Structure 1
């Protein structure tokens, strides 16, 4: 009888011990999930490419997977394009709508960017007219990152 009582007491103690561990690990898991799903603060990043007197400048504000910002293409002594960016981070790339003014008219174009350390790469490929007149890449998988902008201090 003493053996059964001792075994029952040990089993009960083991159950109590497991219950504490489960509660502790559940708390750790809950804290980890909460931290992983918390939205990071918005981060502004600025990039620039100077080619002679031509300038391309991009400002991105990244908030989780949402991206907004501005892009300016300013060729020397020619009409440029100045507009806004709005998009998302998808598979490590930023896919954004670039809505801009060029030669007095409004245009919308798909832009694909990739952050690489202190560089912003811009994908270049053949464009076709998509829905609502927006220019989209005909084959984004075949397009290549051809422009490289360097990180600069945001003004």
Structure 2
């Protein structure tokens, strides 16, 4: 156990991210044969009172960027989230939510094309990465929403919060 802790500490100190942390996770197979990461116990929960910053790129040439900068204070999560597509209107706003274990449920309040809107988002902290459940289009409302049946398949990389 001491060797594992020292190794995790060394990896954590070796990164330049101000939100760097380490935690032990176990991969569990859940119904539907997809893998999900769950914390082994409460002692493995992410550090609180800490800032975390992540980014994700997608598009045909990785030209669209989403960034999530969050502060975890106890079980409260606040921060900023921006979706910056190359040739479309951006979504920029704030996130407010709660942390339970390593799962975050939040509301993203953003501006797009001069209109204020909200969207529920679900994340999961995974070591030096952030995973998000993808969105789906709801034909009844004509809006995007989080696909709560999906796995956390959108993966963000940790970055230095000073950038």
Q: Give the TM-score normalised by the residue count of structure 2.
A: 0.61
Q: Which residue of 2 aligns with 1:99?
A: 109
Bigger relative contact order, structure 1 or 2 (CA pairs below 8 A, ≥6 apart): 2
Give CA-to-partner distance per residue, 1:71-122, whole Å, 9 cap, x none: 0100002111000000001353100010000111011110000000111101
Distance in 2, matches of 1:138 and 1:123, equals 6
In structure 2, distance between residues paired with 1:150 and 1:138 = 20
Number of aligned pairs?
112
Give the root-mean-square deviation of aligned CA atoms: 2.5
Matched residue SS, 1:78: coil
Moved more, 68-77 or 120-129: 120-129
- Out of 46, 65, 78, the residue aligned to residue 68 of structure 1 is 78
Taking structure 1 as reference, are residues 139 and 75 closer, same or farther at Cα in structure 2, changes over 3 Å only? Answer: closer
Secondary structure (helix, strand or coil) at the match of 1:144 reads: coil
Q: Which runs of 5+ in 1 are unaligned?
A: 1-35
Larger Rg: 1
Structure-2 residue corresponding to 1:58: 68
> TM-score scaled to structure 1, two decimals?
0.64
93 and 127 in structure 1: CA distance in 2 versus 1, 3 angstrom threshold: farther
Greater shift, 49-58 or 76-85, is seen at 49-58
Question: Once superposed, which parts of structure 1, at least 4 consecutive aligned residues long, lie more than 4 Å away?
Answer: 135-139
